[in-house]
Amino acid sequence: MNGETNYHPARNLAGELQDRARGETDPFKARFDRTIAQIAAIPHVKFHGLWVTDFGISLINRRYPGDQEAITAERHVQIQLIREVLNPKYGHR
């Protein structure tokens, strides 16, 4: 999370920890491994979030070539959704 790795090693580590948890007989150790796997996967999941927002813009560009207003509208929708997730007081408009 401090920029010392990228999403590929994080994803791989998370998978290794999940595999180790499946073979663990001690439920506390298995839960610990799964928890650390989830933490390790955070950079990978963030990458998916960024990727999908850009995919949305690419889709708008293909559907409405050169339409800056359509792109701006899509970004506003994305920003509103982020606000709702981060702070529910914003609500959907």
Contact 20, 40 (CB under 8 A): no
> What 8-state DSSP symbol labels residue 89?
G
- On whether both 68 and 36 belong to a single domain, the answer is no
What is the C-alpha to C-alpha distance for residues 74 and 19, in angstroms, rounded to an integer? Answer: 39
pLDDT for residue 27: 87
What's the domain range around 6?
Answer: 1-40
- On whether both 24 and 60 belong to a single domain, the answer is no
- On whether both 35 and 66 belong to a single domain, the answer is no
- On whether both 16 and 55 belong to a single domain, the answer is no
Residues of the chain with pLDDT under 70: 1-7, 44, 88-93
- On whether both 55 and 69 belong to a single domain, the answer is yes
pLDDT for residue 68: 92
pLDDT for residue 22: 93
pLDDT tens digits along 36-47: 888 777 776 777
- On whether both 48 and 93 belong to a single domain, the answer is yes
